[in-house]
């Protein structure tokens, strides 16, 4: 059965527990002394329901709290059973933690996207990946907690009141365009598009935002981009803008190119450069930043670190390469060149492989270290970043190269549970390839340490 069929409908919620499921309790903590244990469900604090970890932190911020605890979940409803709920009084010393860890940060179900964005990457995924990858979250809480970009198209008046009341700042917002007709074409909202009005209300209430614009060739990358940036520049509280290129896979028919062509990438960067220079002269910051991919495709040098304004959009793929290069050069300046204890192959995506190959050569390690750019055959299209490589991609590259070396695989290929996008593990990949594959930090210092080997 295709996993695609299990994804939630647009605008629905991924079912939640109706409370926060406790995953662990610190021994000797107030929660442990009160008898709270893993598997219990925290449903309220001082009589107020907890919808997520934000509520928990907000309501349980003092030295004392009455916690409503359910002993377990009812399987049919996945909700805490009121009949098994008990009230527990907790007290703690100044600076002491309650000692409770939760399974997730959202308790009542993640809100999913109600739009049909023409460029939606998740709509282009093939079947057979981890089920969680098909959940198109559009939840302002995950924006605040994890930096996920949200459209604000499903935010209600009550949500706005909560964001302002609890000071959920900064938020990360996908805007893309401001002209109604262009927004309609790009986002295809199912209901009235009030995102710009909501954003204005949040900004007026003191909420800071970091904005993302997905540039789509011929749609929002020319005059419309200028219009969007001008609209944003006129508003206090817009702390940064990140412009990233359309991403597309081979599992769709709407797009055949993005900004892979050097001239196209340069044209977009030239337009952004005018805004960056204007802001640098006026405010001393660049404000709008372009994805690393655009510089690499254009064959242009990356901006120096100081022009990234503290890297506010690092998790959006903006500044990652600069940060890596600077860290690598710092490691080499402070320590001896890595010894490359044995013949080693570095696995990476095809986008970053030329950069890494150049750094290895500059360090005098090219005779012992090979950089292997792994083509993303599962996704195809314009996908070339390391973080989207799958086990099948890596296995195919190793099969072609051969197993007569140790392979270093960046840890971004695996999630926190040790799974690749196609649901494999490092052990399974080793078994399938019969190769010596070792996980290595994606940071330059971690890579240098792995190359040096044991001393």
Provide Rg for the chain, Cα atoms. Answer: 24
412 contacts 351 by C-beta, under 8 angstroms: no
Beta strand ranges found along 77-220 (DSSP E): 79-80, 85-91, 100-102, 110-111, 171-174, 209-215
Q: How far apart are CA 331 and CA 452, in angstroms?
A: 12
pLDDT tens string 125-142:
998 888 888 888 999 999
Instruction: Go through the domains of the chain in sequence order and give each one's CATH number.
Output: 17-102 (2.30.42.10), 110-318 (3.20.20), 324-452 (no CATH)
Per-residue pLDDT of the chain (455 residues), as tens digits, is: 222 333 444 445 555 567 999 999 999 999 999 999 999 999 999 999 999 999 999 999 999 999 999 976 543 344 555 557 899 999 999 999 999 999 999 999 999 988 889 999 988 999 888 888 888 899 999 999 999 999 999 999 999 999 999 999 999 999 999 999 999 999 988 778 999 999 999 999 999 999 999 999 999 999 999 999 999 999 999 999 999 999 999 999 999 999 999 999 999 999 999 999 999 999 999 999 999 999 999 999 999 999 999 999 999 989 999 999 999 999 888 776 666 556 899 999 999 999 999 999 998 888 889 999 999 999 999 999 999 999 999 999 999 998 888 999 999 999 989 999 999 999 999 999 999 999 999 999 999 888 876 54
Q: How far apart are CA 106 and CA 51, in angstroms?
A: 7
DSSP state string for 329-398? HHHHHHSPPP---S-EEEEEETTTHHHHHHHHHHTT-TTTEEEEEEP-TTT-TT---GGG--HHHHHHHH
| Burial class of 144 by CB neighbour count within 10 A (0 to 12, 13 to 18, 19+) | buried
pLDDT tens string 340-376:
556 899 999 999 999 999 999 998 888 889 999 999 9
């Amino acid at each position: 059965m295709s996993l695609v069929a299990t994804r939630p409908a647009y605008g629905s919620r991924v079912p939640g527990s109706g409370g926060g499921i406790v995953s662990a309790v610190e021994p000797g903590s107030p929660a442990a002394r009160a008898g709270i244990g893993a598997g219990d469900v925290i449903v309220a604090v001082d009589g107020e329901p907890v919808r997520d970890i934000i509520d928990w932190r907000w309501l349980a911020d003092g030295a004392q709290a009455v916690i409503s605890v359910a002993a377990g979940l009812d399987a049919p409803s996945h909700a805490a059973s009121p009949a098994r709920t008990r009230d527990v009084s907790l007290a703690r010393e100044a600076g002491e933690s309650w000692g409770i860890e939760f399974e997730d940060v959202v308790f009542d179900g993640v809100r999913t996207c109600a739009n049909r964005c023409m460029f939606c990457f998740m709509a282009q995924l093939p079947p057979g990946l981890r089920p969680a990858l098909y959940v198109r979250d559009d939840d302002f809480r995950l924006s605040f907690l994890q930096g996920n970009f949200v459209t604000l198209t499903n935010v209600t008046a009550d949500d706005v009141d909560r964001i302002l009341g609890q000071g959920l700042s900064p938020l990360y917002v996908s805007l893309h365009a401001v002209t109604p007709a262009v927004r309609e074409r790009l986002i295809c909202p199912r209901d009235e598009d009030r995102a710009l009005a909501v954003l204005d209300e949040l900004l007026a209430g003191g909420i800071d935002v970091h904005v993302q614009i997905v540039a789509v060739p011929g749609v929002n990358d020319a005059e419309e981009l200028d219009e969007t940036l001008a609209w944003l520049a006129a508003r206090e509280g817009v702390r940064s803008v990140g412009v990233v290129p359309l991403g597309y896979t081979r599992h769709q028919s709407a797009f055949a190119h993005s900004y892979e062509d050097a001239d196209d990438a340069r044209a977009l960067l030239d337009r952004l450069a005018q805004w960056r220079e204007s802001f640098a002269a006026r405010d001393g910051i660049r404000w709008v930043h372009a994805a690393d991919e655009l510089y690499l495709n254009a064959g242009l040098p990356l901006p120096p670190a100081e022009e990234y304004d503290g890297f506010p959009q690092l998790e959006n793929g903006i500044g990652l390469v600069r940060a890596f290069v600077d860290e690598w050069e710092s490691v080499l300046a402070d320590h001896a060149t890595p010894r490359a204890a044995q013949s080693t192959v570095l696995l990476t995506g095809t986008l970053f492989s030329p950069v890494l190959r150049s750094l290895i050569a500059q360090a005098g390690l090219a005779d012992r270290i090979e950089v292997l750019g792994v083509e993303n055959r599962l996704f195809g299209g314009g996908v070339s970043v390391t973080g989207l490589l799958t086990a099948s991609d890596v296995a195919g590259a190793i099969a072609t190269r051969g197993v007569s070396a140790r392979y270093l695989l960046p840890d971004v290929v695996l999630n926190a549970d040790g799974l690749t996008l196609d649901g494999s593990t490092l052990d399974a990949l080793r078994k399938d390839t019969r190769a010596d594959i070792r996980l290595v930090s994606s940071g330059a210092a971690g890579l240098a340490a792995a190359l040096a080997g044991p001393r």
